[in-house]
Amino acid sequence: MAQRFQFETEVAFEQAGVRFNVGLSAAAGETAAFDLTVDDLATGDRVAFNHQACPAVHDFTRGFTRWLGTRGVRATRGDADITGTASDDLTSAQLMQLGPSAVDLIDQKFSLYTGSVTEPNGYSDVIYKKDDGVAWLTINRPETFNAKRGITMEEMADALLDASRDNSVRVVVISGAGPNGFCTGNDQSYDPSLERDDYSGTATISYSQVIQQMPQPVIAAVDGYAIGSGNILSYESDFTIATTRSRFGQTGPRVGSPAAGHGVASLSARVGQKRAREIWMLCQQYSAQEAFEMGLVNKVVAPSELWEEVDRWIGYVKNVSPVIVQMQKISYNQHDHFEIPEVGPVQQHIPDFAASEEGQERRTAFIERRPIDPSKNLPYALIPIE
């Protein structure tokens, strides 16, 4: 039984337009009780926990209820609240940490939104922004270690397509919210046979196809678990920068996911046939250092150094020719798909590059040992993504 204990707080997220009310309390000798509600800051009304009222709050409270279970709270999600009782096995120290941990998890997600989540427009599962030539895409489901549902994948594809069409974007960075997971695959709590209408995406093209075909290089900034399709997302990105606390691996054969085909076999082009079969068939997990040594990762850094290192790689990308990098991406993709075209991508899309302003500028800048003039860069070749 808990000692007398009380934790109550309100956490408002002005840009997201919602306020979370969190309480955990117990009278002396009684079981500690937990409760959570969410208010709409614009109207003052309680936010209902259903997809039609607010997809972001609905989805979060679903995952948050499961998270409470891992912390020793038997929780039930109602129409507009979460209530639960703490296990008698929890110590006073664990109870005291539970409230702040709950608030921290809420903050990991809702502090990232730049617009009201109660409005019908906008993304619910990802955060997307463009700034100074960089498109930033964050999977925003920290309550599930950034596992994806159909809507997540739809929003990822939509955001990446937008970046692919923007000639000012030089590089794309994909990450996961919170310190625990880059992406842990598909969220198995959703039953596609029962919840298809509300939770399945309707994108006509997959985010994986866009990553491969978009002209810009894609950096996977991995902090935490990259498991299942999260590992695929990492190795299909052009570069992967990981923190020392990251882990990589596949789960398909172990959990009954019948993954097969090119997306599986293409791993052998990164790490070789023996390693690829080991990773996919045995479902083991690998540290960031092990992933680096086998070729899954380009760089491993301390968690505190991740974004500094990402910025460094962004600088590298911005210093090279965007259209030539685009042609090189095409070349690697053709090799991955065992394609031997009659002419290479340069001959097909930019045959006169050497005589172009960019071609001449880069040559003379090299000879004169000076920085290039980026205004001379050619635009990306317009190649449909399909």
Residues 340 and 312 in one domain: no
Residues 345 and 314 in one domain: no
Does some domain include residue 116? no
Residues 165 and 140 in one domain: yes
Rounded CA-CA distance 27/6 in Å is: 8
Residues 86 and 221 in one domain: no
Indicate which CATH number applies to the domain containing 55.
3.30.70
Domain range for 343 is 322-376
Residues 278 and 166 in one domain: yes
Does some domain include residue 113? no
Does some domain include residue 384? no
**Contact (CB, 8 A) for 327 and 304:** no
Residues 284 and 136 in one domain: yes
Residues 215 and 75 in one domain: no
The reported pLDDT for the residue numbered 344 is 83
**At which of 318, 335, 365 does a domain end?**
318
Does some domain include residue 363? yes
Give the residues of the chain that fall short of pLDDT 50: 1
Residues 33 and 71 in one domain: yes
The reported pLDDT for the residue numbered 199 is 55
What does the H/E/C string look like for the chain?
CCCCEEEEEEEEECCCCEEEEEEEEECCCCCCEEEEEEEECCCCCECCCCCCCCHHHHHHHHHHHHHHHHCCEEEEECCCCEEEEECCCCCHHHHHHHHHHHHHHHHHHHCCCCCCCCCCCCCCCEEEEEECCEEEEEECCHHHCCCECHHHHHHHHHHHHHHHCCCCCCEEEEEECCCCEEECCECCCCCHHHHHHHHCCCCCCCHHHHHHHCCCCEEEEECCEEECHHHHHHHHCCEEEEECCCEEECCHHHHCCCCCCHHHHCCHHHHCHHHHHHHHHHCCEEEHHHHHHHCCCCEEECHHHHHHHHHHHHHHHHCCCHHHHHHHHHHHHHHHCCCCCCCCHHHHHCCCHHHCHHHHHHHHHHHCCCCCCHHHCCCCCCCCCC
Residues 170 and 306 in one domain: yes
**At which of 52, 77, 108 does a domain end?**
108
β-strand partners of 227: 249
Side chain identity at 117, as an amino acid letter? Answer: V
Residues 354 and 207 in one domain: no
Question: In the block, which residue shows the tokens 């079969």?
Answer: 277
The reported pLDDT for the residue numbered 3 is 65
The reported pLDDT for the residue numbered 128 is 97
The reported pLDDT for the residue numbered 288 is 98
pLDDT digits (tens, 9 = 90+) for 237-288: 999 999 999 999 999 888 777 788 888 889 999 999 999 999 999 999 999 9
Residues 269 and 367 in one domain: no
Residues 328 and 214 in one domain: no
Burial level of 258, CB count in 10 A (0-12/13-18/19+)? Answer: exposed
Domain count, the chain: 3
Indicate which CATH number applies to the domain containing 254.
3.90.226.10
**At which of 318, 350, 368 does a domain end?**
318
pTM for the whole structure: 0.90
